[in-house]
Structure 1
Amino acid sequence: MAVESFNDAHNVEADPDIFGAVNLDAFTGNTPARHLLKLTPGVPKDGRYDELAAIFRPVFAKIAAGASERDANRTLPFEPVGWLNRERFGALRIPVAEGGFGASLLDLFRLLIELGEADSQVAHLWRSHIGFVESVLQLEDVTQRHRWVERIAAGQIVGNAYTERGGNRLGTLNTTIAKNGERWILNGEKYYCTGTIYADWVAVAAAHPTRAGRQIAVVSTQHSGVKIFDDWNGFGQQLTGTGSTTFENVPVDSVLPEEQQINDPESAIFQLVLLAVQAGITRAALNDVRSAVQARTRSFSTGTGVPVREEPQVLQLVGEISGTAFAVDSIVLAAVAEIEVALADASLSAAERFAVCELSADRAQAIVQPLALSAATKLFDGLGASATATSCNLDRHWRNARTVATHNPAIYKSRIIGDYEVNGTAPQQLNAIGDVGAAQATGVP
């Protein structure tokens, strides 16, 4: 169901003017309306986005064609990642003069939402890469910036290994880097390593022998001391490579500058990627309920006796899901636009920029999560018990949305926003997730 609706909605070759003006005189009672609300609401159409979308939409359609089957069979999407990489999806934000596409942050996220609509898991696995690219673009070290821009422009992908599964005290890390002769060497074990199984490089949060707090060391995933495991056992987003990675005496390629670890807006970018994934899931739920209602002939004795596609309450429900998708898109891209402005505003201090970015992402997260979950649940109300058949795999939308909604946990975001609104308390950056002892929990040093 989702495959056909996605391909139809994005069939640019068959209908190059699919987003153009509508001739209302051409409509009759039997003429199906085209789904024209694919351009994100509230975002003006511009030639640059259209140019980028023309490159990637055919790839998104191919990815959509196998999304449900990959989810059902737990088939890791190495091939879809390869399709995107051939078009250098990871180089969207790299300036044109340096070999990339020169996309704005807003255009990148509009494309990411479309990718999330095609397959939420493929969109999610780019999370670490997208965050790393934004950090690279802010590097003041010209040599290091050039090295990473060149690699990213060539199509190399960066994964993530920030979090440890347990056993480390809150704010500390057991993973370490240490000097061995002239080289830095990395040792440790990580979990939640989203995207790393598909990546050429991995950014690792580690403890430094002389620097305080978390440091980011980047190593090659091809080194024999790096072992990547597909052992993520969540009930959703199972194909994102969010499993374990171990590092044994792995040479460090780069350590990001220490000043970049303080008030870096990367965490807001990370969160916005997840919200773009939620927007894609909501769109996909709309696609599936729409196509299922259009095709359904079987009805209920408790209905009004008309075909399901004309049933007023079913149409109302589909309309509500459509409105939810519209709202989620709008909220996510409003937050992205605010962050893009903040990143370019030289008058902001690093701490102010971090606060603006965090609060924008937090506000969006506080509202988007329940909306996405409601759409993924509501679609079943319009289709009945037959829609719960495992062969339909419609539950993947709820499973994936519910899994994404657990990240960074959303329950804390409204409190952080409220504390800022009422008391002017700036959001705090935490270096590392870890275990809290009794002394820490009570505030005792």
Structure 2
Amino acid sequence: MSRSIPTELLSRIRQGAVQRELERTLPFEQVGWLDDAGFGALRVPVEFGGEELSLQELITEVIALAEADSNIAHLYRGHFGFVESLRFQPAPVRELWYARVRQGATVGNASTEKGGNALGSLNTRLDRDEHGAALLTGEKYYSTGTIFSSYTRVSAAQALEGEGRRFAVVPTDAPGVTLLDDWDGFGQKLTGTGTTLLDSVAVEDLAVLARRPGDHESVHEAAFFQLYLLAVQVGIARAALADATSTLARRTRTFNTSTAGQAFSQDPLIQQVVGRMSSKAFVAEAAVLQAARTLDRALSAGLQAGTGDPGFEGEPPRAIHQAEIAVEQAQVSVPELVLAVTSELFQTVGASATLRTKALDRHWRNAQTIATHNPIVFRARSLGEYEINGTVPQGLNAIGEAKESS
């Protein structure tokens, strides 16, 4: 595709967003349009035949897509996270998977377990059969995007080369893979964020990927995944603002208490509310794009610090940690701005805005759902510790049962 999503394609996706929300229709058709257009390959490096958009350019496209339909933008998060991770993998892995992505393959996410795993450990396992082949067994929840994807990337404990964690990438239609559409959250209902069941699923050799918390890849990935969510939230804010202005443009009814005595669109107080919404959406987008630029610079610095294949060892350079800090700074403020925009939308219209058929509440529900992914209170605390004591924040890389106190 071109270096941006065609306007006509965004318009087609936007047209059915409310109906899909009301009927809970998963957007398989719309995802197919984007896959056919090559959306998933926008970050493939030029040396592997890709467009290689910068992160800032990609985030700009994600914001535009999220404005059209936040569910569709969100469900590609695991895929683009996987494509990012390839930059740190050995050459044979990069050659195989970049080629598949260029051919239209997409990769979902299956990392989190619903319960029963201790923090820092996983119940999903990679083992070998009697012939030495790698087999994957376990159960994952929050498998966003997997039901729409060709493959899914699964985090697993492993006994292939001693203990530790790995990623295994398996076809979603492979024997032993079962995908359940059982996500029941009140927001982002159409992201396919359900359960993935894995029963002795065969894993090819170049689909077992290293996973080392604290290295260049994991620090970059933690920042990228959160930045991506912030971009989706900005798209939601822009959609809420657009719905406010388009609704006002059509509205002729008013109240006798209106200061203008005319249509809402002429009332200075209503105009002031929309002005605040516009400002907050602008500030949120500016913060996210600045964080994306910082991440671009950090990624370049991180790769230059390595030798040979990009999957190098050693402490990540300061630039990568600075990018994580920039993303965390945005995360503390952007969700609050976006939630304010989606709430103020209802001050611009009146009771008719609550009609279910308009689905205007989806903006708040979707933004609030996304805001829960990485607890903001933990991010604010770690930023404070960094500012006071210089302690580098730790990216989110594990969820599980808390250890018992002594």
SS of 1:438's equivalent in the other structure is coil
Distance 2:121 2:319 in 1: 25
Could you tell me which of 48, 66, 91 is aligned with 1:142? Answer: 91
1:120-131 equivalent positions in 2, closer than 5 A: 120-131=70-81
Q: Distance in 2 between matches of 1:327 and 1:302?
A: 32
1:214–1:431 Cα contact (<8 Å) kept:
no
Q: Which residue of 2 aligns with 1:242?
A: 193
Deviation at 1:96, TM superposition (A): 3.5
Contact 1:178 1:184 in 2 (8 A): yes
Which residue matches 1:426?
392
**What is the 5 A alignment of 1:78-97?**
78-97=28-47
Deviations 1:238-286 (A, max 9, x none): 1001110000000113111355873421111111111000000000001
Q: Counterpart of 2:92 in 1: which secondary structure? A: helix
Which residue is 2:176 aligned to?
A: 225
TM superposition shift of 1:106: 1.0
Counterpart amino acid of 1:218?
V
CA contact (8 A) 1:213 1:431 kept: no
Partner of 2:310: none
CA distance in structure 2 between the aligned counterparts of 1:259 and 1:372, rounded to whole angstroms: 33
Query: 1:30-179, aligned counterparts within 5 Å?
Result: 52-53=3-4, 55-139=5-89, 141-179=90-128
Give yes or no for contact 2:168–2:208 (8 Å, CA) kept in 1: yes
Q: Confirm whether residue 377 of structure 1 aligns to residue 352 of structure 2.
A: no
Superposed displacement of residue 432, structure 1: 2.3
Residue 409 of structure 1 and its aligned partner are, at CA, apart by 1.3
Structure 1 residues 115-171: Cα deviation after superposition (integer angstroms, max 9, x where no partner)? 0000000000000011110111232x1111100110011110000110000011111
**Do residues 341 (structure 1) and 303 (structure 2) align?**
no
**CA offsets 1:204-259 (integer angstroms, 9 cap, x no match):** 01001244443211111111200011101000001001110000000113111355
Query: Partner residue of 1:408?
Result: 374
Match for 1:217: what amino acid?
A: A
> 2:150 aligned with 1:200, yes or no?
yes
Q: Which position in structure 2 is the counterpart of 1:274?
A: 229
Q: Any conservation in 2 of the 1:129–1:158 contact (CA below 8 Å)?
A: yes
Contact kept? 2:280, 2:341, Cα under 8 Å: yes
Give the letter aligned to residue 208 of structure 2. V
Instruction: Describe the shift of the 1:303–1:431 C-alpha distance in structure 2 as closer, same or farther (beyond 3 A).
Output: closer
- 2-structure distance, mates of 1:311, 1:213: 62
Deviation at 1:354, TM superposition (A): 4.4
Q: Superposition pairs for residues 283-302 of structure 1, below 5 Å? A: 283-302=238-257
* Paired AA for residue 138 in structure 2: G
Equivalent residue for 1:393, pick from 331, 334, 359: 359
The separation in 2 between residues aligned to 1:63 and 1:300, in whole angstroms, is 35
* C-alpha distance in structure 1 between counterparts of 2:339 and 2:53, whole Å: 30
Specify whether residues 144 and 118 from structure 1 end up closer, same or farther in structure 2 by C-alpha distance, changes over 3 A only. Answer: same
Hey, what does 2:331 align to over in structure 1? 365
Range that drifts further, 164-173 or 206-215: 206-215
Gaps of 5+ in 2: 307-314
Identical amino acids, percent of aligned pairs: 46
CA contact (8 A) 2:71 2:188 kept: yes
Q: Pairwise mapping of residues 243-262 of structure 1 onto structure 2 (< 5 A)? A: 243-253=194-204, 254-258=207-211, 262=215
1:389, 1:259 → 2: CA distance? Answer: 49
Identify if the C-alpha distance between structure 1 residues 81 and 266 changes in structure 2 by more than 3 Å, giving closer, same or farther. Answer: same
Structure 2 length-normalised TM: 0.92
Residue 374 of structure 2 contacts residue 396 of structure 2 at CA under 8 Å; is this kept in 1?
no
Determine the C-alpha separation between the residues in 2 that align with 1:147 and 1:260.
Answer: 24
Contact 2:157 2:165 in 1 (8 A): yes
How far apart are 1:429 and its partner, in Å? 4.3
